[in-house]
Structure 1
Amino acid sequence: MSTWPKEELNRIAESDDLHISPFREDGVTYGTPTWIWSVVVGGSLYVRAYYGQNSRWYQAAVQQKAGRITVAGMTKEVAFEPVEGEIGDLIDNAYRTKYKGSPYLNSMISMRARSATVKVVPLTVHESYV
């Protein structure tokens, strides 16, 4: 799998307009774009589901493992990888920094949202995620 080009990752990190569209059950049709918060930690892009593991987009992302995102004027084909463990603390800190002052911050660093953290990895034109 690819890594994000630095310029793109910087644009994404500065943006607050990420929309995520995991594939539907057919593995071909994109789901309805859902606006979510995103953070960059250690050169990787992470997102969380506000409603935790019950969130529709999260369930689709974990099941289908791929889809696309639209952010900072870009549309990218991506793979989704569930995340757990110590990286969660770094992701929490990134959310605190990026979204400081938001009334939704506490929900996004709660155990409910933290349990639904996904790493978003870019796919090259020739890659597919099976």
Structure 2
Amino acid sequence: MRIAVRRTDGSLRATVPIWVVVAAGRVYVRTWYRRDSGWFGRALGSRRARIEAGGVVADVVVDDVGGGELQVRAGVDAAYRAKYARYGAGTVDRMVADDAAATTLRLAPEQRV
């Protein structure tokens, strides 16, 4: 999947590829570690983005759930392990480590009025 974070004026930044999973019917993304820069920091700041995957383009709201419920983390961890196992344990282990889990963002369709 690719994500483009919205600027404060509503325009889009350049898209970047990210790993995405679905757990309990919801869409989640993570980065290797929590930071204020790059797509992750900008997504935290704007709380709005556009995603592109498989020919589908959607505007989404971004919700920081990295410090949330253990049940959510367990589901997201399991989804990363299952989907990305082909990259090897070392890579997947980084995406389910505590630092990466703290970066968990839930993406949901933007509700237009």
Q: Give the TM-score band, short-chain normalised.
A: 0.7 to 0.9
Q: Which amino acid aligns with 1:56?
A: G
Unaligned runs of 5+ in 2: none
Structure 1 segments (4+ residues) deviating >3 Å: none
Change (3 A) 1:94 1:60: same
Q: What displacement does 1:27 show?
A: 3.7
Q: What displacement does 1:96 show?
A: 0.5
User: Considering only aligned residues, what root-mean-square deviation do their CA atoms show, in Å?
Assistant: 1.4
Which residue in 1 is equivalent to 2:75?
A: 90
Which residue in 1 is equivalent to 2:108?
A: 121
Q: In structure 1, which of residues 35, 53, 59 is the aligned counterpart of residue 34 of structure 2?
A: 53
Counterpart CA distance in 2 for 1:37 and 1:27 is 27
Counterpart CA distance in 2 for 1:69 and 1:32 is 11
Counterpart CA distance in 1 for 2:85 and 2:56 is 25
> Is the counterpart of residue 20 in structure 1 residue 8 in structure 2?
no
Give the paired residue count: 107
**Helix, strand or coil: the match of 1:99?**
helix
Q: Is the 8 A contact 1:27 1:64 kept in 2?
A: no
Q: Which amino acid aligns with 1:78?
A: V
Q: Which amino acid aligns with 2:5?
A: P
Q: In structure 2, which of residues 85, 99, 102 is the aligned counterpart of residue 100 of structure 1?
A: 85
TM-score by length of 1: 0.76
Q: What displacement does 1:78 show?
A: 0.5
Unaligned runs of 5+ in 1: 1-17
Which residue in 2 is equivalent to 1:14?
A: none
